[in-house]
Structure 1
Amino acid sequence: MHNTSNQKYSPYISFNRTQWSTLGENNNDASLNDINLGSLQGINERLSLKEVTEIYLPLTQLVRLHYLNKKDLHRTSNNFFGLKTNKVPFIIGIAGSVAVGKSTTARIIQYLISQWVDKPNVELVATDGFLYPNEQLESKGLMTKKGFPESYDVVKLFSFLSELKSGKTEVKAPVYSHLKYNILPDKEQVINSPDVVIVEGVNVLSPPKQAKKQIKTFISDFFDLSIYIDANESDIEKWYIERFNLLRRTAFTNSESYFQKYANLSEEEALQIANRIWNEINRVNLIENILPTKNRADLILTKGEGHSVTEINIRKL
């Protein structure tokens, strides 16, 4: 049995990796036979089957408990009120710093949920699509604060989440291109009758800093379960610089890349620029806007060396 004596006055129950990995041993209903780890991992991550089995299988089994309870509450509420309301999707929010591995976590969770016995329809939406287009960011003087809360069109994001939670059958989200570093005006992500929607982004647990007159709630008010990906700042900085260098040798060489100007830098020049971007933009956003929201999450995944999860904290019920 897990020992909670040291956590008596904490809002979280804490598990180390060994304790957590035993939770899924007798409750595994997901097949990993066809899993393609390469399609799930980030450019500078080396995702292992061991990590998926020990960390993410128990995690998605916990998600399933919440999901089934929500479905049951919907059914019993309809019976109580004598209604036949449309189902609404179970929404999972995933937050954390740039380069901490949010997208990888989101893709793994999406895959594992799609393997449940009832084969739910799982959609993944990145909040990058709700950034203002570069033209608007430039006019607002926010290009150097891209990714900060004020760089997002929160009215559009709230409208999107409200449509999802209203039970609307088809909902559309804007699409962002990391290659072009901008919104794609002629492209949309169309979501049809989802059972589960994963919303991933750096500031999904943050309060709105703009449009306060129009919006009185948090983005996370729409979430049924929220996850924060945590790590030491020194590790995140290292991962960011590693990723920058890998992109410099790959995606940045594309003639359509917004960052093509960085492709021919020397190692020393690249390191200087990556350090500057980290310290002047991403670290500031982490310290001022992202990290303070950590304890708003229902579940905190703490990563260590090589993006391996070392600790899991679950909010007490």
Structure 2
Amino acid sequence: MSLNRKEGVSGGPFQLFDRNEWRNLNGQFSYDLMQSDIANLHALNEPLTIEEIEDIYFPLAHLLNIMLQETKQVHVNVNGFLQKHTQKLPFIIGIAGSVAVGKSTTARVLQKVLSMLPGKPKVDLVTTDGFLYPNATLIERGILNRKGFPESYDTKLLLNFLAAMKSGEECFEVPMYSHVEYDILKDRKQLVHQPEILIVEGINVLQVNSTTGNNIFVSDYFDYAIYVDADEADIMDWYINRFESLRATSFQNPDSYFHRFANMNAEESLAMATNIWNEINKPNLRENILPTRYRADLILEKGSHHFVKNVRVRKV
């Protein structure tokens, strides 16, 4: 697929807002964020400022709240028509994008800001890392080096989880993933219990190449979908820089799956990270992730500094 960033946009279904235009759209909500919140929200080598949250995520929360309130009203109206009193179902937001583009930070910041909306809704965040097959299964199938590709996920379990949320089930146990062990944790689960808003973050959440043998897709359960975007060259640089930072920090942990890389010098680290990018992450981005970009309702376009420079919103 062509990587032309203009593809499908000019005269297409999206409205483009530069950063200043987007910031000025927020005229309703303000939040009391502390500088100490920043440390708990951003990931390694991903700069995050209060200004970024105010300029980008406050307007985004305002927009999502409009969608949320509209969904609530539809629920009331339909219940009235059907003469039923069914419970409200969670408003599900999907967040997609490449490895190292900053999806996790986007998801955490959005969870924080949405939880501060009027009424203080309960907002849960689930990452699709927990739906990866265990390493033993990946090794048995000969696809450990394709972790992150569609076939490495237990898509059936992910679909069951989303179906349960949209069926009104009270709670669901979600597998948890350890980036230190590089594997699913056998004895830990995340309990998702009746959130008002559920954020589902992962590189694969907008893909339609189903591995379950049916025509139901993860995104079918989303009320709103966001894609975090950037130039491929920038994402590659961010990935390599993150790998080097991890080599100097978490890779030093003897329990880390990647501890064997801890004693690499800078040149060896660069070569290893570049090889992983070229052999795994770049093909996955081009073949599976990037083609889903225009399935989103909103695209956050980042510049080389890791901050959002443009926002594209699907026309309604």
**Correspondent of 1:14 among 7, 13, 16:** 16
CA distance in 2 between partners of 1:217 and 1:314 (Å): 25
User: Scaled by the length of structure 1, what TM-score is found?
Assistant: 0.95
Alpha-carbon spacing, 1:35–1:20, altered in 2? closer, same or farther (3 Å): farther
> Would you say the 8 A contact 1:29–1:117 is kept in 2?
no
Shift of 1:29: 4.0
CA distance in 1 between partners of 2:138 and 2:39 (Å): 34
| 2:100 aligned partner | 99
> Would you say the 8 A contact 1:231–1:303 is kept in 2?
yes
CA distance in 1 between partners of 2:163 and 2:74 (Å): 20
> Would you say the 8 A contact 2:210–2:217 is kept in 1?
no
Q: Which runs of structure 1 show a deviation greater than 4 angstroms over 4 or more consecutive aligned residues? A: none
List runs of 5+ in structure 2 lacking aligned partners.
1-8
Q: How does 1:193-212 map to 2 (within 5 A)?
A: 193-212=194-213
The Cα offsets for residues 263-308 of structure 1, whole Å up to 9 and x where unpaired, read as 1001000000000000000000000000000000000000002211
Q: How does 1:22-101 map to 2 (within 5 A)?
A: 22-24=24-26, 26-33=27-34, 36-101=37-102
State the one-letter code of the partner of 1:173: V
CA distance in 2 between partners of 1:33 and 1:69 (Å): 30
The Cα offsets for residues 71-105 of structure 1, whole Å up to 9 and x where unpaired, read as 11111110110001121100000000000000000
List runs of 5+ in structure 1 lacking aligned partners.
1-6
Shift of 1:185: 1.2
Secondary structure of 2:48 counterpart: coil
| 2:315 aligned partner | 316
User: Scaled by the length of structure 2, what TM-score is found?
Assistant: 0.95
State the one-letter code of the partner of 2:163: S
CA distance in 2 between partners of 1:34 and 1:270 (Å): 33
Question: How many aligned residue pairs are there?
Answer: 308
CA distance in 1 between partners of 2:125 and 2:32 (Å): 20
CA distance in 1 between partners of 2:72 and 2:252 (Å): 47
State the one-letter code of the partner of 1:291: L
Instruction: Among all aligned residue pairs of Structure 1 and Structure 2, give the percentage whose two residues are the same amino acid.
Output: 47
| 2:126 aligned partner | 125
State the one-letter code of the partner of 2:246: L
Shift of 1:33: 4.3
> Would you say the 8 A contact 2:30–2:58 is kept in 1?
no
State the one-letter code of the partner of 2:99: V
Secondary structure of 2:72 counterpart: helix
Shift of 1:188: 0.5
Name the Cα RMSD after superposition.
1.2
> Would you say the 8 A contact 2:299–2:313 is kept in 1?
yes
| 1:4 aligned partner | none
The Cα offsets for residues 19-55 of structure 1, whole Å up to 9 and x where unpaired, read as 111011x212433247610110111012011111111
Secondary structure of 1:239 counterpart: helix
> Would you say the 8 A contact 2:43–2:104 is kept in 1?
yes
> Would you say the 8 A contact 1:91–1:225 is kept in 2?
yes
Q: How does 1:1-317 map to 2 (within 5 A)?
A: 9-24=11-26, 26-33=27-34, 36-212=37-213, 215-317=214-316
